[in-house]
Amino acid sequence: MPIYRACFTLIYAYGLRISEAVTLPISAVDSKQMVLRVIGKGNKERILPLTEPILQMLRDVWKIHRSPRWLFPSRRRTTHLPDATARAAFIQARDACGFNSDFRPHSLRHSFATHMLEQGVDIRIIQMLLGHSSLRSTEIYTHLTNPLRDQLRQLLFQTTDGLFEGRGPSRG
């Protein structure tokens, strides 16, 4: 269903919590300033840059339901999509794809953070994007993935090359 697909695309694209995504009002999208306003834990607002493809996806989904209030409405359109309904849709899609039951909606948030880190985005920027007040919360998402491990291995090689051969580290 396009509404679920759009909701989970948004969760992955911005590292949102499922509760943040399903409760987004239409007014969260500011197409003039190209930002998405997200209310997170502790009622804190994050202002995230909106990309043209995401904006177009949200417009296309809105044309399907035309809810005057919610980006992702319930079937009645007067309330937002319930967390439990979104989770059930995710589990159904996950199972149909044959993914492990460890793959949950929150895994999309972890994947977002991991991919940002792999792209070299500073952890403090990732902290801001995720809406964490503490850097410690963000560090939970920063486990060593294979690409990060390979980058670290290359860096260590560059800084230690030649140390045991009677010459200093290579330059360059």
| Domains with residue ranges and CATH for the chain | 2-100 (1.10.443.10)
Mean residue pLDDT of the chain comes to 88
Q: Is 37 an annotated catalytic residue?
A: no
How are strands ordered across the β-sheet holding 35-39? 29-30, 35-39, 45-49
Helix (H, G, I), strand (E, B) or coil at 139: helix
Instruction: Tell me the pLDDT tens digit for each residue of 9-19.
Output: 999 999 999 99
**Kindly report the CA angle at 50 between 75 and 111, in degrees rounded to 5?**
80
Q: Which of 5, 41, 143, 153 is catalytic?
A: 41
Q: Which of 4, 14, 17, 80 is catalytic?
A: 17
Q: Is 80 an annotated catalytic residue?
A: no
Q: Which of 44, 59, 106, 143 is catalytic?
A: 106
Q: Is 17 an annotated catalytic residue?
A: yes
Q: Is 46 an annotated catalytic residue?
A: no
pTM reported for the whole predicted model = 0.78
Reported as a pLDDT band with limits 50, 70 and 90, residue 119 is: confident
Q: Report how far residue 123's alpha carbon sits from residue 141's, in angstroms, rounded to the nearest whole number.
A: 10
Q: Is 143 an annotated catalytic residue?
A: no
Q: Is 109 an annotated catalytic residue?
A: yes
Residue 144 has pLDDT above 70, yes or no: no
Instruction: Tell me the pLDDT tens digit for each residue of 39-94.
Output: 988 888 999 999 999 999 999 999 999 999 999 999 988 899 999 999 999 999 99
